[in-house]
Amino acid sequence: MIEPINQTSLLQFFQEHQIDYQLHEHPPLVTCKDSELLNLNIPGADTKHLFVINKTGQYFLIMTTHEKRLDLAKMKELLGGRVEFGSSEKLKELLNIYRGAVSLLAIINDRANQVRIIADEELANVDSLQQHPLDNCATVVLKREDFLRYFSLIERQIEWQKLPERQSQ
């Protein structure tokens, strides 16, 4: 059995493949609100991630901007129906991460390709992105080119989509 990738082995993978990154260590962040309270001033586009499952059992890892409140009800067509948040157990089983450490980088642990990757097109052309390196006590900043090359190296595709925002009430 292949050992799952953790933060240490992920950063080693980056080094072995000349993926440039900046590592910022910080107290554990579980929610976007935690990040706001600490006012970390980390460069790059601040992102948030959702791990969801649809009624047919398809899992999705979704990335959007930190500020955006997604309207999951309007995403039914894209996601194959109504979705709910995936369980902590499945998050650990499929991606070897825990709540608070969710990021697209964790897809390296989905060796059976059970999780589709969807990213907000608002992030498609940013200069750099912030991601947790499989641990919520750190953030890595990756230039867009290095971020995309990472997915090419692990042979995974990102579906860039216009993701609907929930309207304020």
pLDDT at 157: 95
The mean of the pLDDT values for the chain is 89
Is residue 54 in a domain? Answer: yes
Tell me the CATH number at 145.
3.90.960.10
Q: How far is CA 164 from CA 1, 58, 74, 78, in A?
A: 40, 20, 7, 11
pTM for the model stands at 0.90
Distances (CA, A) of 162 to 16, 31, 75, 118, 168: 34, 23, 10, 10, 18
Residue 139, both tokens? 């953030």
DSSP secondary structure letters along 108-168: GG-TT--EEEEEEGGGTT-SEEEE--SSTTEEEEEEHHHHHHHHHHTT--EEEE-PPBPPP
CA 15 – CA 46 distance, rounded (Å): 23
For residue 1, the model assigns a pLDDT of 52
Query: For residue 101, is it within any domain?
Result: yes
Pairwise pLDDT comparison (75 vs 61), residue with the higher score: 61
Would residue 2 count as lying in a domain?
no
| Domains identified in the chain, total number | 1
CA gap 130, 147 in Å, rounded: 10
Q: How far apart are CA 51 and CA 87, in angstroms?
A: 8
pLDDT tier, 41 (very low <50, low <70, confident <90, very high otherwise): confident
Tell me the average pLDDT across 54-76: 92
Domain encompassing residue 83: 7-156
Residue 37 — very low, low, confident or very high, per pLDDT cuts 50/70/90? low
User: Could you tell me the two tokens for 17?
Assistant: 């493949």
Picking from 18, 14, 3, 16, the residue whose alpha carbon sits closest to that of residue 138 is 14
- Indicate the pLDDT class of residue 66, thresholds 50, 70 and 90: confident
Residue 117 lies in a domain: yes
Has residue 163 been placed in a domain?
no
Q: How far apart are CA 68 and CA 74, in angstroms?
A: 14
Report residue 98 as tokens: 């825990």
Inside any domain, residue 165: no
Say whether pLDDT at 38 is over 60.
Answer: no
What percentage of the chain exceeds 90 in pLDDT? 67
CB 131 within 8 A of CB 104: yes
Look at residue 1 and tell me if it is in a domain: no
Token pair 């979705």 in the structure block, residue: 83
139 occurs within a structural domain: yes
Q: What is the pLDDT of residue 36?
A: 59
Bridge-based pairing of strands 115-120 and 128-131 is unpaired
pLDDT of 9 reads: 94
Listed range (22-26, 60-64, 119-123) with the worst mean pLDDT: 22-26
pLDDT at 101 over 70: yes
